[in-house]
Amino acid sequence: MTDDDQELGITESKSHDTGEWYAEVVRKAGIANYGPEGMSGFIVTRPRGYALWEAVQSALDAKFKATGVQNAYFPMFIPESYLEREKDIVEGFDPEVAWVTKGGHEELEERLAVRPTSESIIAPYMSKWIRSHRDLPLRVNQWCSVVRWEATETKPFFRTKEFLWQEGHTAHETDEEAWEETMTRLDQYESIYEDVLAIPVLRGQKPDHDTFPGAKVTTTVEALMPDGKSVQGGTSHHLGQSFAEAFEITFSDTDEKERTAYTTSWGLSWRCLGALIMTHSDEQGLVLPPTVAPEQVVVVPIWQSDTKADVLEYAEGVTADLEEAGVRVELDDRDEHNPGFKFNEHELHGIPLRIEIGPNEVDDDELTLVHRPDGESTVADRTDVAETVRSHLDEIYAKLYTAAEENLDGEVREADDRAEILGTIGRHGGYVETPWCGEQACEAEIKEQIAAEIVMVPFEDDDELVGDDHDETCGVCGEEAVRTAYFAKSY
């Protein structure tokens, strides 16, 4: 990924070389560049890319605040002794932790971890802030970056050593309240994907062996990419009392007895931007839903020398009306490029709706509207342009969601034995649903042979295999099945 953005066209194939195509779209659409030489695993997020993150941040932050969450900020460095207070955190993240050992020229008395996650720096302060049941529930969130020194190949937004995210942390009086909080955040993550990013998701929980370090239950939303791989879209963790016990988060109840709190944590990262780009974009470039697009509409005037003044005046009026209505609109009145160049550039940048205005539109008091996802062209009256545009933007969103939903619906398949699991994933990708005995060894066997893992199991209330009223056997080992597992390759 270089800084050379002059060649507008996408040359790679989405269907045949998804990874190279994705990297090309990210670069040429002005979303991101790789970081400096010698800093493998880091990216530079360009303004158009950061605007996408701001759109997600704004929508999610509003949901958080409407449900009692307050934003805070904690240090990016965590003393090693803090990490060690929760042994599962240390064991879970140790291979990925970046350490600071010197400050200036001085050796530090204690190593400082660059936060891989913040439970162990936030929990001690929650302990200080909570004294009574009246202080509960306590809900804080921070928007920040974290560093995880992964050895895997970098893929912008999907896999980087530093990434942006939000992480929420809460404390509650009861286990039931903590579980309700966990599900509230999962609901909000599902809404971000389905109502903001136009991506349908599956929801459930991680198998016990793949929960967040120290967590009682990890819940997840999973999004399917066009290449058949799954993206862990956001996770919400019911931590039980493990962190509260490690960091002494206690409160006095109504009887003045000291009790240990129940805590949760939950996070969504800019991986959602990778899912957004990969799901909707095509071989002309970036495709964005109107909900997050920096520019929802571009107005392109098309003139000859004798019609320029009238066409520009008409186009400026349309643009002004849309701006007044709160539509994010750009008027492309550049002289140095012809309309064809402009069309290609705006398609590359993913602007959802193009309005073409030439002499005929001026004479007939009309507009030509072109949808980015499929090139559908419609002629509409100039009157009530804002209402017309909003209707078209809604239609564009629906098109994107429907296409992604059809892809997901066709990529969930059932399998009953090892050969069928391996064969189905090998031929088709997507999700393979199978009965599972609950043993990690059965996942490991599939993972070793085809690099697929259990990305999700349904919640117990939704899983027909929970209980004694079935005679299903594990699709891998043939022993009695206790859960339904969804296998998939993943990012």
Q: How many CB atoms lie within 10 A of CB 168?
A: 23
Residue 152 has pLDDT above 90, yes or no: no
For position 419, which CATH number holds?
Answer: 3.30.110.30
Torsion angle in degrees (nearest 10) through CA of 302, 303, 304, 305: -140
Please tell me the predicted confidence (pLDDT) of residue 88: 75
Residue 1 — pLDDT band, cuts 50, 70, 90?
very low
The mean of the pLDDT values for the chain is: 95
- Structural element, H or E, at residue 189: helix 175-191
Round to whole Å and give the CA distance between 78 and 219.
Answer: 26
217 shares its domain with 105: yes
What's the one-letter identity of residue 115? R
Q: What is the pLDDT of residues 177-212, one digit of tens each?
A: 999 999 999 999 999 999 999 999 999 999 999 999
CA dist 458 → 195, 262, 303, 485 (Å) = 22, 23, 58, 7
Distance CA 227, CA 16 (A): 9
Q: Are residues 235 and 258 in the same domain?
A: yes
DSSP secondary structure, 59-76, as one string: HHHHHHHHTT-EE----S
CATH code of the domain in which 339 resides: 3.40.50.800
Q: Is residue 479 in some structural domain?
A: yes
Tens of pLDDT, residue by residue over 411-459, are 999 999 999 999 999 999 999 999 999 999 999 999 999 999 999 999 9
Same domain, 199 and 73: yes
pLDDT at position 7 is 65
Number of independent structural domains in the chain = 3
Among 280, 313, 331, identify where a domain stops. Answer: 280
- CATH code where residue 106 lies: 3.30.930.10
Is 225 within the bounds of a domain?
yes
Question: What pLDDT does residue 176 have?
Answer: 98
Check whether residue 271 and residue 335 sit in a common domain: no
Q: Which of 366, 398, 430 is the last residue of a domain?
A: 398
What separation, in Å, do the N-terminal and C-terminal C-alpha atoms of the chain show?
A: 19
Whether 86 and 217 share a structural domain:
yes
Q: Which residue has the tokens 């009887």?
A: 255
Q: Final residue of a domain: which of 374, 398, 422?
A: 398
Q: Over range 290-319, report the average pLDDT.
A: 97
Is residue 290 one of the residues assigned to a domain?
no
CA distance 149 to 93: 10
Q: Are residues 394 and 419 in the same domain?
A: no
Asked if 166 and 268 count as a contact pair (C-beta separation under 8 A), the reply is yes
Angle at 58 between CA 56 and CA 61, to 5 degrees: 100
Q: What is the pLDDT of residues 461-483, one digit of tens each?
A: 999 898 877 789 999 999 999 99
pLDDT at 3: 44
Claim to verify: residue 306 and residue 452 sit in the same structural domain: no
- Residues 349, 455 within the same domain: no
Q: Is the pLDDT of residue 2 over 50?
A: no
Summarised one tens digit per residue, pLDDT across range 103-145 is 999 999 999 999 999 999 999 999 999 999 999 999 999 999 9
* Of 52, 47, 13, the residue nearest 287 (C-alpha): 52
pLDDT at 6 over 70: no
Whether residue 432 is contained in a domain is answered as: yes
What are the tens digits of pLDDT across the range 336-379?
999 999 999 999 999 999 999 999 999 999 999 999 999 999 99
User: Are 56 and 203 within one domain?
Assistant: yes
Domain with 325 in it: 297-398
Query: Do 212 and 167 touch, CB atoms closer than 8 A?
Result: no
Query: Do 334 and 441 belong to one domain?
Result: no
Statement to judge: residues 219 and 351 lie in one domain: no
CA–CA distance from 309 to each of 304, 305, 333, 340, 358 (Å)?
9, 8, 11, 20, 11
Same domain, 86 and 197: yes
pTM of the model: 0.95
Provide the token pair at 287. 């495709």
Q: Report CA-CA distances (Å) from 467 to 387, 462, 477.
A: 53, 12, 19
Domain presence at residue 4: no
Question: Which of these ranges, 71-80, 149-158, 179-188, has the smallest mean pLDDT?
Answer: 149-158
What pLDDT score was predicted for residue 5? 46
Q: Give residues with Cβ within 8 angstroms of 371, minimum separation 6.
A: 352, 353, 377, 392, 395, 396, 399
- Residue 153 located in a structural domain: yes
